[in-house]
Structure 1
Amino acid sequence: MSLLDLSWRNVQRNFRLYSIYLFSMITGVIIHFTFSSLMYNKDILNALENKENFQLGVIIASVVVFLFIIFFILYANSFFMKQRKKEFGMYLLFGMSERQIATMVFIETLFLGAISLVSGILIGGLLSKFFGMLLMNLMQYDNVISFAFPIQAIGSTILLFILLIVIISIQSYLNVRRVQLIELFHAKEKMEKPIPSSRILALFAIFLLGMAFLLISRGRASVVWQDYANVSMIAVTIGIIGGTYLFFRQFTGWLLQMVSRSKKFNEGNTVLWTSSLRFSVRSNTLNLTFISLFSAVIIILVGFVSINYAVQFEAAGRNLPNDIAFESLDEQTNEDIEKIIINSDHRIIYHEIIEGLSGKPATDMGIAFENPEYYTEDIFLLPEKQYNYIVTLRGHDQQIDLQGKEVVALSQGMDLPGRFTADKQPEFTVTTSEETTFQLVERKDYALLGWASDPAKSMTIKSAVLIISDEAYQDLNNATSTKSFEIYHIEDAKNAEALSEQVHAVVSKTPGAYYSSFADVYSVQIESSSLLLFAAAFLAVIALFALGSVIYFKQLREATEGQRQYAILRKIGVDQREMKSVIRKQLLFIFLPPLILGVLHSWFILKYYMLDTLQDYPQLTNIIWGILIAYFLIYFLFYLSSTSVYYKIVNQKN
C-alpha cells in the first residue's frame, strides 16, 4: 500500500476526528475570501468615497483575522497529533520512518486543505453578496451588491492557505520527531499530581481582583486617576493579571479542598467530579488565565468599536454642527456662494449670520480648552444672546446665562466637561484692543462652529470659541473690530460632497478663511467606523472560537486519558444519568470561571471608562449587554458541545 493510499484511508477512517479541524479550515477560507472579495468588489468600491482607506483597512483586517485562524488551526492540529501518537507508534514499530510518517501527514493535510479551499471559496463567494450588503447597510448606503468571485481574491486565498499548510506540515513533522517510540505508547497514561493550595494565596487572589475593580470603579474623574494615574494603572494591571492567575492557580484549588472537607462531600456525586478536577488544576491554570484575559480584551475591542460606530452618526453632527459654515468674505463672494447653494439639489432650511470679536489668548489655552493643539490660535468671542439663539434654532438644550466677566469655553470633545465651583473658577485673559480678564465658569462639550474641514483632508482644526455676557460684549465691541460667519442648514446634508467641493473652492481663494462642511466628514467617519465594526465582529468570532477551542480540546484530551477511570465507574454501578451529571459539573467548573472573570474585567473597564463618559448616549449600555450575552451564548455552546463529546469519548469501549 502506497503512502497516498494510506493517507486517504486515514482521512476516511478519522473523518469524525478531523471534522472540527476541517470545519476550522473551511471557516478560515470563508472569512479570508470574504474579506478579499469585498476589497475587489466593484459594486462596493463604486459606492465608497474613500476607496484607498477601505482597501488598506480590509488588508489589515485580513492579516489579523488570518493570524487568529493560524492559531486556531495549529492548536487543533497539535491536539490531533497527540491523539494519534499511539497510531504513529504502531507505524514506527512496523518499520516506517519518521520522514514517511511526516510525508503521510503532509498528504493528509493536502487532502483537507484542498477540500477546505474549494468548499470555502464556493461558500465565501455565495456569502460575499450577503456580507457586502451587510457592510453597505452599516454604512447606510443603498447600493446593490452582486455575487462576485474576484480572481485576485481567489489567488491571495490560495497562496495564504498554501503557506498555512506548509506551517502545519512543519509542526506535524516536529511533533513526530520530538517523541520516542516508548513515549508514543504511553502518551495517554501520564497522570498529573494535585497541586497544594494556600488559603493565604487564595485570599490574596481575591484581594488583587477586588483592588483592581475598586480602582477602576472610582472613574477617570476621581483623584486617584487624576493625580496618581501611573500608579493606579500599574496597580490595576497587577491586580487583573496577577489576581486572575492566582485565582486559577490557588483559589480554585483551595475551593476544591474546602469542598472535599465539607460534611456533604460524600453525598451525591460530589466526590466524583471534584476528585479529577484537583488533578487538572495545574495544567489548566495558564490556559484559563489566558482565556479570561484575552476574552476581556476581545469584548473590550468589540465594545469599543460598537460604541464608536453607534456614536459616529451623532458625533459627526457634534463635531461639525453646521451643514455648511464659512467666514464671511466680501459681499459679492458671499452672494456667489449663496447662489451655488440655491442652485444645488439641497434646499436651504435656514441661513444665519453670527457676529463676534476676534482676540488672542494671554493665558494658557489648556485652562479653557482640552487638547489646545487642536484649536486655532485666535479666539472668537460671541455674546450669549447670539449663542442662545443658534442653540434654540438647532433645538438643543444648551442655553447659558452669564453675568459680568463670566465666560464659557466651548471645548467640544472633552472627556470630562463641567462647571467650576465659585471658589475654583480660573481666570482667562484675552487680548483684543486691550487685555480683558474673564472668570471661566464652565467648559462645555459643545460646538458652535465646529471643526474646520476640507473635502480632501476631512477635519483640520477646531475654532476656539468663548461665550461672554452681553454686557462684556458691548464694552469690548466699542473698541474692537468684529468678525462674522455664515451658517447654512440644508436638506440631505450627508450627501452634499459635490456641493461642499464647489463652496470650498470659492472660500479657499481667501487664505486662512474658515470653512466647515458636515458632508466632508460624515462619509469618512461612517465608512471607517463601519469597516472597523465589520472587521472586529469577524475577529471576535474567530478569537472566541480559538479561545473556546483551547478549553474544548483540552477537555477532549482529558476525556481520552480518563476512559479507564470512567470504565471503572461503570463497573461499580454508576449509571449513565449519574455519569452525565458528573461530566456536566466537572466541565462547568472549567468553563464558568473564565466566563465570569472575562465578563467582569471587560464590564468594569467599559462601564467606568467609556459608558460613564458618554452619558448622552443611553442606548450604548444595551449594546454592551448585547455583546456580553453573545459572548456568553458562544461559550455556552462550547460547553454543551464539550459535555456531549466528552461523554461519548469516555463511553467508548477500548
Structure 2
Amino acid sequence: MTLFGIARKNIRKNFTNYFLYFSSMIFSIVIYFTFVSLKYDEMIAATTESSTRISSVFNAASFVLIIFVAIFIWYSNSFFTRKRKKEIGLYSLLGVRKKQIGRLLFYENFLMGIIALFIGILLGSVLSKFFVTILMKVMGYDVIANFAVSSAAIINTIIVFILITVITSFHGYRLIYRFKLIDLFQADKEGEELGASFFIAVLSIIFIGIGYWLALQNILESEAWRKIGIMLTPLVIIVSVILGTYLLFNTLIVYLLKLSKKNKRKLWKGINLISTSQLLYRMKGNARTLTIIAILSATTLTAVGASYSLYYNNKSNAELANPNSIMFINHDEHIANKVNDKILQEGNHEIIYHKTIPTMQIKVDTSSLNSKMGEIIQEYTIISTKTFNEMAGLQERKDHLSLEGNNAAVLDAGYYEGLSPEYVGSSIPLHVDILAEDITFKKLMKYNVLNPKTANITVVIGDELFSKLEKETDHVNMEAYKFTNESYAEIINKEIESILPDNASFSSFYNDYALGMETAGLIIFIGAFLGLVFLAATGSIIYFKQLTEANSDKERYVILHKIGVNKKEVRKSIAKQVFFIFALPLLAGIAHSAVALTALSRLLQTNLVIPVFICIGIYILIYVIYYFLTVRTYYKIVTK
C-alpha cells in the first residue's frame, strides 16, 4: 500500500478524532468564502449607497480572518501531530524513515485540507444567498437576494486555503524531525506539577489590577494616561493584562489548588484527590493555552459586544439626533407649503404634529465657556421658553422651563463630559445689531427639541428677552414635523430633499437611522461572523487539548476502574476536571471584556449593558455545548 493510501485509510479510521478539526476548517472556509463573495456581489453594489466602503471593509475582515485561520490550523495541526507521538514512534521502531513518516502526515493534512476546501466552497455557494439576505436585512434593506456564485470568490478562496494547507502540512512534516524516539514513547510523562510562589501569585493580581485601573481611568483627566502617553497607555494595558493572565493560570491557580489539598476532609471525598492531582499535574501544559483562550475570548466578546451595541442603540441615537421626523429652515413660504402638501399626500405617514418654530440664529463668542473642541465663534439657535415648553410637550418630555431675566438653558444633544463647553454658571454675550445682552446658563439639557443638524446647539431664553432681541433682528422660522412610520420614510425624504434648496439645512430621522443601520449592520455582520470563528477556534483548542490528555490519562483511569472506582465516579471526575479548564479562561475572558466594554461605554457615553449581556449569554451557551461535547468524548476515550 502506498503512503497516500495509508494516509487516506488513517483519516477514514480516525475520522472521529479529526472531526472537530475538520469541521472547524470547513466553517472557516465557509465564512471566508462568504466574505469574499459579498465583496463581489452585484446586488449589494446596486442596492447600497456605499458599496466601495463595504468592499474595503470585507477586504480588511478577510485579511484578519486569513491570519487567524492560518494560526488556528497551524496550532491544531501541531496538536494532532503531538497527539500521535506513540504511533509515530511505532513507525520508527518498525523501520519507517522519518522522511516517509513526514510525507504520510503531509498527505493526511493536505488531503483533509482539500476535502474541507471542497465542502466549504460547496456549502458557502449554497448559503451565499442566505448570507447576502442576512447582510441586507441587518443593514436595513428589505430585498431578497438572487442565487449567484462568484468565480472570483472561488479562485480567491482556493488560492488562500491551498497555501495555508501546504504551509501547515510542511510544518507537520518538519515537526517529525524534532522528535527523538525516546520522547515519542514518553509523551504521556510531559505533565509536570508546578511550584507555587506566593509572590508571583500576588504579582498576577497586581498586573491585572494595573491593567484594569488604567483602562477604567478617565482618559481626559487621568494623570497616569498623561504621563505614560495616550498612544502608549493602551499597549501598557494589553501587556499588563496578558502577563497577569498568564501568571494567574501558571501560578495563582496552582497556589489555590495546593491550598485546597490542605482541606483533607474535602480532598478525601470521592475521587477529589485524583481530580485535584490531575489538574496540578497538567497546569504547566495548560497555562499558555488557557491564557490564549482567555485573551481570545475577551477580544471576541469586546468586539462583538461593541459592534452589537452600535446596532442595538442605532434607533435611540437617531432619535437623539432627530427628535423631529424632519426639520428644515423655511426661507420660502411657497416651498414650505409644497413640502407640507407632499407629506399630506403621502398615504404611508400620518402627521402627529407640525410646528412652525420662530428662532434667531446668532453668532456667539464662546471663549468664556472653556471649550476644548470646536470654534470659538459659534452660531447658536435661540428660542423662547414658551417655544421650548410647547415642543417638549409635543415630544412628551417631562421638563418644563421657567426662565426670568437674562437666565438661559442650553440644549446640547452632543454634550461630551470633559470636552464640551462648561455651560452651567458661565455667561456669554448676545450681540444683535446695536443691542448686547449677557446671558447666564442655569441649566444644561443633554438633548434637543430641535434637530441639531438644522439648529445646531439651541439656547433657551426668557420670553421677554426673546421679544426684546427679536425686534432688533430678523427671526428665522424652522419647520418641524413628526409623523408615523418614520423608519420607512425613504421615498418621502427623497421627494422633500428634491424640493428644498441646499440652504434649508434639511435633517431627518430616516437619513440618520438608515445610515446608522447600514454602518452598524455591516459591523455587526462582520463582528458576529468573526466572533463565531474565534469562538469555534477557542472551543476547538480546548477540545483538542483535552482529547490529547484523555489519551494520556487512559491507563490511569483503567487502574482506577480496577481498584473499584465505578464509571459514574469516573464521569464525575472528568466533568469536574474539564469544567475547571473551560470555566477558567471563560471567566477571565468575561472579566477582561467587561472592563474593556465599561471603558468603551464611558468613552462613547452610552449604555452597553443589555447588548453586552446578550452577547455574553450566547457566548456562554456555545461554550457549554463545547463543554458537554468534550466531557462526552473524554469519557468515551478513557472507558473504551
After TM superposition, is the score higher than 0.5? yes
Which residue of structure 2 lines up, in the alignment, with residue 474 of structure 1?
Answer: 467
**In the TM superposition, what whole-angstrom CA distance separates every residue of 1:234-277 from its partner, at most 9, and x where no partner exists?**
79667744543332222211111112222323343222111122
SS at match of 1:397: coil
Find the residue that maps to 2:313 and give its secondary structure. helix
Out of 519, 523, 526, the residue aligned to residue 528 of structure 1 is 519
- Whole-Å Cα distance in 1 between the matches of residues 611 and 619 of structure 2? 13
**CA offsets, 1:407-449, max 9 Å, x none?**
2222213355999999x72233344335433222333221344
**Cα distance in 2 for residues equivalent to 1:630 and 1:347:** 38
Asked whether the 8 Å contact 1:197–1:254 carries over to 2, the reply is yes
Give deviations 1:316-369, integer Å, cap 9, x for gaps.
23223333322222444545555665666665724432222222222238647x
Residue 281 of structure 2: aligned partner: 279
Q: For the structure 1 residues 611 and 363, does the alpha-carbon distance in structure 2 shift closer, same or farther, using more than 3 Å as the test?
A: closer
Q: Does residue 1:436 correspond to 2:427, yes or no?
A: no
Unaligned runs of 5+ in 1: 454-461
Match of 1:487 in 2: 480
Aligned position for 1:194? 193
The equivalent of 1:567 in structure 2 is 558
C-alpha contact 2:20 2:540 (8 A) present in aligned 1: no
Q: What is the alpha-carbon distance in structure 2 between the residues aligned to residue 348 and residue 99 of structure 1?
A: 78
Contact kept in structure 1, 2:413 and 2:452, CA below 8 Å? no
* Other structure's SS at 2:221 match: helix
Moved more, 330-339 or 563-572: 330-339
Please tell me whether the aligned partners of residues 114 and 162 of structure 2 are also in contact (alpha carbons under 8 angstroms).
Answer: no
> 1:228 aligned to 2:223?
yes
Q: CA RMSD in A?
A: 3.6
Residue 410 (str. 1) matches residue 411 (str. 2): yes
Amino acid at match of 2:193: P
Structure 1 residue 33: Cα displacement: 2.6
8 Å CA contact 1:567–1:651 kept in 2: the answer is yes
Could you say which residue in structure 1 is the equivalent of 2:624? Answer: 636
* d(CA) in 1 for partners of 2:452, 2:151: 42
Provide the secondary structure at the position in 2 that maps to 1:178: coil
Cα offset, 1:520, TM superposition:
2.9
Partner of 1:261, secondary structure, is coil
3-state SS of 2:457 partner:
strand
Structure 1 residues 462-505: Cα deviation after superposition (integer angstroms, max 9, x where no partner): 72322222233233223233233233345544444455445445
Task: Report the alpha carbon displacement of residue 308 of structure 1 after superposing the two structures with TM.
Answer: 0.9
Contact kept? 1:356, 1:483, Cα under 8 Å: yes
Match of 1:582 in 2: 573
Return the letter of the residue paired with 2:178.
R
Whether the 8 Å CA contact 2:320–2:447 is kept in 1: the answer is yes
Would you say the 8 A contact 2:409–2:444 is kept in 1? yes
Q: Deviations 1:624-654 (Å, cap 9, x if unpaired)? A: 32222222222222222222222333345xx
Q: Which residue of 1 aligns with 2:74?
A: 74
Match of 1:294 in 2: 296
| Contact 2:497 2:506 survives alignment (8 Å) | yes
Q: How many pairs does the alignment contain?
A: 631
Q: What is the CA-CA distance between 1:98 and the residue it aligns to?
A: 4.5
Moved more, 56-65 or 294-303: 56-65
Cα distance between partner residues in 2 of 1:303 and 1:477: 49
Code of the aligned partner of 2:478: F
SS at match of 1:409: strand
Report the Cα offset of residue 386 of structure 1: 1.4
1:352 pairs with 350, 355, 358, which one?
355
SS at match of 1:412: coil
Aligned amino acid, residue 570 of structure 1: H
Match of 1:244?
245
Q: Which amino acid aligns with 1:559?
A: A
**Matched residue SS, 1:226:** coil
d(CA) in 2 for partners of 1:435, 1:550: 71
Deviation at 1:206, TM superposition (A): 4.2
1:386 aligns with 2:387: yes
SS at match of 1:303: helix
SS of alignment partner, residue 372 of structure 1: coil
CA distance in 1, matches of 2:419, 2:162: 57
CA distance in 1, matches of 2:124, 2:29: 8
Q: Describe the SS at the equivalent of 1:429.
A: strand
**Structure 1 100/376 Cα, relative in aligned 2: closer, same or farther at 3 Å?**
farther
CA gap of 1:215–1:398, structure 2 versus 1, over 3 A, is farther
Gaps of 5+ in 2: none
- Do the aligned residues in 2 keep the contact of 1:28 with 1:66 (CA within 8 Å)? no
Distance 1:281 1:106 in 2: 31
Aligned to 2:84: 84
CA–CA distance in 1 between the matches of 2:600 and 2:407? 31
Aligned positions of 1:11-410 closer than 5 A: 11-92=11-92, 97-186=97-186, 188-206=187-205, 209=208, 226-228=221-223, 230=225, 240-264=241-265, 265-335=267-337, 337-338=339-340, 349=351, 350-364=353-367, 367=370, 371-372=373-374, 377-410=378-411
Q: What residue is the counterpart of 2:427 in the other structure? A: 427
Kept in 2, the 8 Å contact 1:409–1:465? The answer is: yes
TM-score with structure 1 length normalisation? 0.85
Alpha carbons 2:24, 2:540 under 8 Å: kept = no
1-side partners of 2:223 and 2:183: how far apart? Answer: 55
Give, in whole Å, the separation in 1 of the partners of 2:412 and 2:492: 29
* Whole-Å separation in 2 of the counterparts to 1:419 and 1:538: 37
1:618-633 alignment to 2 at 5 Å? Answer: 621-633=609-621
Identity across the alignment (%): 31
1:204-245 deviations in Å (ceiling 9; x for gaps): 54455567667877x85xxx9734361796796677445433
How far apart, in 1, do the equivalents of 2:207 and 2:2 lie? 59
Partner of 1:9: 9
Structure 2 vs 1, CA of residues 420 and 509 (structure 1 numbering), >3 Å: closer, same or farther?
A: closer
CA distance 1:502–1:575, shift in 2 (3 Å): closer
Amino acid paired to 2:444: R
